Amino acid sequence: MDGYAVCGPGPWQITHHIPATATTTTQLTPGQATTIVTGATVPAGTTAVVPTEHAVRTANHLTQTFRTPARDHIRRAGEECQAGDQLLPAGVIVGPAVLGLAATVGLDRLTVIPQPTVAALITGDELVHQGPSGPGHVRDAIGPMLPTLITQSGARLLQAARGAAPGDSAGVRHLGDSLEELVAGLRASEADLTLVSGSSAAGPADHLRRALAALGAELIVDGVACRPGHPQALARMRDGRLILGLPGNPFAALVAFLTLGVAALQRMRGLPLPELPQIPIPGGVHCHPTNTRLLPVRLTPEGAVPIGHDGSAMLRGPATADALAVVTPGPTKAIAARLLTGMPPWGG
């Protein structure tokens, strides 16, 4: 508090002036006061600090208009933490307040898990990057989704080589359907996780698995029993970097990123995987007999309502959804599902 450090009940005689940086050896005795600024060390003998707005000063004579309780406006050493206290649990995300707290307690170095880096390679000779698609051409819908998905998942986009192909942006490169280009692109990527879209299946223009074999990468996940998104793949390079194959159909690519991709990034960040809450589906929804279904849903007081437009090439459903329902395989209908929410693009 800016005001007066006082000793005992008023009135007081102002006998000292303490600047902000003083390490004072001043000693107040009853009836004495000193000017003081917020944050300065109070002199020994201080019983309260009278704020300027409660003080009436005439020359060096001081009274107050409002009785300041004893010890008021005095911060004590160790008020916030004692020696040996654990200030933060392991695994906390280093945000602005954590950095400020570390500085407050004089920590110049923190041991942290660095933010994972992610780069994306979009493959497909048919892809165009401006205007509508037409016969033989498909507008790239995955490239525009990825940067925000990546950064909202707590990862950092790695700057891709500049000025390569049309549609390239930070962290997102476009490649033709060529094994050599894909091998070179994967070799050149320095990201902890490299996403490759449009090469996950077994067609003549789908080179991901051949490229992984050429690079000696280990295939950790070779397809997932889910719809859409079943051709997705996760592989590990010899140096530990990960590669995630996103299926070319845009909703399938989104599903693969939100499941395998987000799970990989969470673990790279040292964070646990979230529990998915159960939610009723009013009227039920058809199960797939062997695969988990992921459906865009709207959240209502009654539960999760599927909103359709959920074909693997469609984004209209996901674009207006609140979350994805994760429907366990079964012979008939499901009346409840788990909910994939709380992550981009549904709530960050």
Ligand X SMILES: Nc1nc2c(c(=O)[nH]1)N[C@H]1C(S)=C(S)[C@@H](COP(=O)(O)OP(=O)(O)OC[C@H]3O[C@@H](n4cnc5c(N)ncnc54)[C@H](O)[C@@H]3O)O[C@H]1N2
Residues that bind ligand MOO (CB under 6 A): 227-231, 247, 249, 252, 312
Nearest to 295 by CA among 246, 331, 336: 336
Task: Tell me: cis bond preceding 116? Omega within 30 of 0 counts.
Answer: no
Assess 230 for contact with ligand X (CB under 6 A): yes
- Per partner kind, with CB cut-offs from 5 to 8 A, the member of ligand MOO, ligand X, none near residue 3 is none
Alpha helices in the chain (DSSP H): 96-104, 146-152, 179-188, 208-214, 250-256, 262-268, 316-320
Strands 32-36 and 12-17: parallel
Assess 261 for contact with ligand X (CB under 6 A): no
Q: How far is the CB of 328 from ligand X (least distance, A)?
A: 20
Smaller CB separation from ligand MOO, 251 or 346: 251
- Per partner kind, with CB cut-offs from 5 to 8 A, the member of ligand X, ligand MOO, none near residue 124 is ligand X
Smaller CB separation from ligand X, 34 or 197: 197
Nearest to 91 by CA among 109, 107, 113: 113
Assess 49 for contact with ligand X (CB under 6 A): no
Q: How far is the CB of 268 from ligand MOO (least distance, A)?
A: 24
Q: How far is the CB of 197 from ligand X (least distance, A)?
A: 5
Q: How many residues bind ligand X (CB under 6 A)?
A: 24
Assess 249 for contact with ligand X (CB under 6 A): yes
**Cβ-contact 191, 120 below 8 angstroms:** no
Smaller CB separation from ligand MOO, 110 or 225: 225
**Cβ-contact 173, 157 below 8 angstroms:** no
**Cβ-contact 150, 159 below 8 angstroms:** no
**Coil vs helix vs strand at 315:** coil
Smaller CB separation from ligand X, 230 or 338: 230
Answer for which of 46, 189, 200, 341 binds ligand X (CB under 6 A) is: 200
State how far the Cα of 214 lies from the Cα of 180, in Å rounded to an integer.
10
Q: How far is the CB of 161 from ligand X (least distance, A)?
A: 19
Assess 142 for contact with ligand X (CB under 6 A): yes
Assess 194 for contact with ligand X (CB under 6 A): no
Assess 189 for contact with ligand X (CB under 6 A): no
CB atoms within 10 A of CB 65: 9
Assess 252 for contact with ligand X (CB under 6 A): yes
Answer for which of 26, 35, 189, 197 binds ligand X (CB under 6 A) is: 197
Stretch that binds ligand X, among 69-77, 103-111, 180-188, 245-253 (CB under 6 A): 245-253
**Residues 6+ positions from 65 with CB-CB distance below 8 Å:** 54, 55, 56
Assess 322 for contact with ligand X (CB under 6 A): no
State how far the Cα of 308 lies from the Cα of 5, in Å rounded to an integer.
69
Strands 242-246 and 233-236: antiparallel
Angle at 29 between CA 28 and CA 35, to 5 degrees: 35
What are the residues binding ligand X (CB under 6 A)? 122, 124, 126-127, 138, 140-142, 197-203, 206, 230-231, 247-250, 252, 312
